[in-house]
Structure 1
Amino acid sequence: MLPTPPARPPSSGHSSPVDTSELSPQAAAATVFLNENLGPAQLQALFALTLAPAGTFSEQLREYLVTACRLLGMTTGILGHAEANRYEIMAAVNPPPGKVEGAIAPLNETYCNEVVEQAGCIAYANIASTPALEAHPALKSMPFQSYIAAPVWTEGRLTGTVCFGDNSPRAADFSASDRALVETLASLLGGLIDRENARKRLTSELGNLRLAYQEMELLFSRCQLPMAIMDFHGHWTRLNPALAQLLGTERSELQRGALEDVSHPADMQACQEALLAMQAGEITHFEQPHRYLGRQGQIIEVMLHLDVIDSHSGVILSQHQDLSERRSHEESLARMRHKLASMAPPGPAVPSVLDKLLPTEIFEQQLDGEIARSARHGQPLSILLLNVDAFTDFNRQYGRAAGDRALQQVSTILRNATRKSDLLSQRDDGSLIAVLGQTDSSGAIILAERVRHATAELHGLDGPVTCSIGLTCYHPAPDTLTLANRFELCERAQHALKKAKRQGRNRVRFLELEPVIPTDTFASPQAPSGFPSPDLP
């Protein structure tokens, strides 16, 4: 450890009142650190530094060191970063050999170690006259005969030092103004480093923000679900191609308008009330069946979802699920069922629920269409396979008629739990199969558990009945050109059903299907548009 430096001359104060109202921001900041012991030439030089046009960070550091070396009459100036026992040179003027910018040394082998330990300024006018310094390791790498240094504080903690040395001793001790100069310079350098660190953080954050905007724009523009960004007044600011395609209008034309321009008047009152409630902070989500008017006057039915994204800026995401295709599909299924019913031979018996299920051939054709529709819209599709437990034994014990009644009841439960647009059929082995459109794995499991519980609670049959259910889900990525294979889907549902049987029956088991992802999903955008990218410094 270095010996205690010569006592610092007493000072009547550390700072002098300065009127900063007429100063530039840089100069005003500098006045916080001014010491009344500074001489006129030192004050003038410091203000010149703060008022000079800013160059690069490295150029500014060097200019501070050069100016201080001139005022102190010292040859070498070094700014270093001290962390634990590691000392790294950040900037240097006329350094000793090997002590260039970026050089690293153990902190305890430098004079700056004492500056850090004392957290204050130290000064030696003649190191050779101090016997205790003869064995100091710093003499081998920095053969200074005079030395002065002060701690540098950044972001509220001591992180380094600024020091000045010369190979010749000084004729007299360092003056109070010399110490004040080095301390003030250390304070100014700390502020300069803080501003540079803040600039780097801001640059990094802006870069990350720009990447996030690019990714958002890519997902927004490629999503097959019609979407738009609007404000609290219903004015559209961004629309994706899927919405323009749904409405049959150019995006540029729609983007200049508002929700009410293309909406059925009868549906706008509820929307306007919801937007006012969102602006007042009363709600954050709204949904309703909504009708748009197409360019040719046709009615386009959607399920409209509005979600507040940023309440402060008034940003709302609107999503539109096309109901026209779904209702057309339901009507097609209804016509097909009616046609099948009309083709059935007349008989005295009342048709059972099982008679209303789709024949296998038609079911398979419809399943292929559902898979293609799921891939086109990027929406999930689930397959449910149900088998009445120990059904052969039930028939053997209670008779075939009792078994038919039980199967009809289970089929009724499954039909009531599904939607009209869902496909239901009976396989050759007697198991029931259902295709659940726009249903993910969690939704399918919930539905299956309801069916399983309702089956176990059936009354009025000849004996107790339970069922086992196997599930699988197909969830394609948007724009995929690779469709799932219906044989593979049904096979995975069969495996899940067998798993439920092996594990004790009367349970639901799920077998996941890997999603199909197009090869260009993660391609970088060539020229993102729509979402403005923040400007980098």
Structure 2
Amino acid sequence: MTQAGTGVMLPGRATVPIPAYGHRPYLFARGYPTLPDLCDDAHGSDTPMSSTEEDEQTGYVHRLRELYRLQISRYPDYPSRYTAHLTAGLRLMGMDIGIVSHIDDCRYTVRAVQPAEHGIAKDDVFELGDTYCARVVGTGAAVTYNHVGSDPAMREHPVYREMHLESYIGAPIRVNGRIWGTINFSAIAPRTIPFSKADTEFVELMAQGLGQVIERDVLQQQREEAITHLEQSNELFESAFEFAPVGMLLVDTEGHILRANRALLEMFGYREDELFGRDTREFAHPEDVDLGQDLLAEMRAGQRRSYRLEKRYVNAMGETLWCLVSASLVRGNEGEARYFIAQLLDITEVKHNRMELERQRAELELANHKLTAFALADSLTGLPNRRAFQQRLTEALAASRRGGHAVSVALIDVDLFKQYNDRFGHPAGDDALQAVADAMNGFTRDSDFLARYGGEEFVLIMPETGNEASATACERLRSAVEAISGLKRAMSVSIGAATYLPGETTGPPDEETLIAAADDALYRAKRDGRNRVRYGTLH
């Protein structure tokens, strides 16, 4: 078999290849994988796997099978579903305690626990802050602890003090976009092997599956409640029909008007005798004439009991009305269709307000974009600020590690700027900083990232740039500043640069290490007389 992954033998199915990146199966990218997912995503590789990788692959297969089983299984109630998920998670990850919780504000309620002999029971309630799950809710993401006791601060946590749970993994259960609760697993012993990304994805997918089921049931309950409310309202229509505050119609099964109440007559500007016997489609907006006809047909056929939609009509004055139409079918004792009851609520103003709200929302989004851009820009020079630089440096280092190419950083300090400021004043100092920024910005490449680091310091990120190229670039900047004219006195800069070379530099540096190397070089440039470039070394 030449597939990169292994295969899953599903009941009554052929072996399904598991798509992989290298030898790591890509099982958990889009929620519970289904048979079509696997078939559509499969791709091949001829690279042989080691025994360790084969073991890891086998573990993924077991988890895939379990997730698939949990997805397709039917459960009589929520406790059974929760128990199945917890039992599977405990078995596959070797943990001691599994809990499904519901979180309401700061209350943590246990909905299910496996096993039940650890002093925690269904319906127990705790303060959220007294649980490890507080961090899950706080971050909105999965959380893992491999050895709680190794952290002095965590040793004071109520869970650790009372139950001595050393390891933990938990993920949020989301319903309608909000955190409904968590599914989490704990153990008394620390993890000998830290939780992996696959462990986290496995628990996240369990949480996602539970959230989808709960959300579906909530929506169904809401639909049923709406239908029930409409049915109860229909029982009152006959007695309250004439004086109802909204427009109401009785319509025969062919769509002809039998009766209209006062509110509808006022809404449309007709007398009741002018409406009697006429087809309701005569009053519909030309573009909405057939809107809802298919729903009426379904009601006649017994496929639905009611419907609700927004539809446009034209009144006697030729004005367009937006109406929220709710209709239901009244049947006789033998089940035969007798007539429709329709309720028309004038929502013209609501629709106009909604369009205005959408316009305002678009303006707000634009303002937020501008605010975000402002938060990342230096107000004096117009360059990106330190916060923007830190974000870009993180991205540049990540790209360097992925692509295996160099990245250089240069710290630039305006020489003797304090003396300039003290002598000529802050406005003149601001003009000088602006001139320096403009001069340097004119000599950077499109791929470079020049930012104001703070005070009289600037910083330059040079992607895919090694030692020699970055030294040349820094010299261009130094010369550009030296050539500035029109200020109170000549300006110069000292520059310290450092380069990360994948494969040559010992270990991947973090942002602070690279900046520290550049800062050390800047110190030497100033010590050696200023107005020069020096290079730092990563250790």
TM-score (norm 2): 0.38
Structure showing greater relative contact order (alpha-carbon pairs closer than 8 Å, 6 or more residues apart): 1
TM-score (norm 1): 0.38
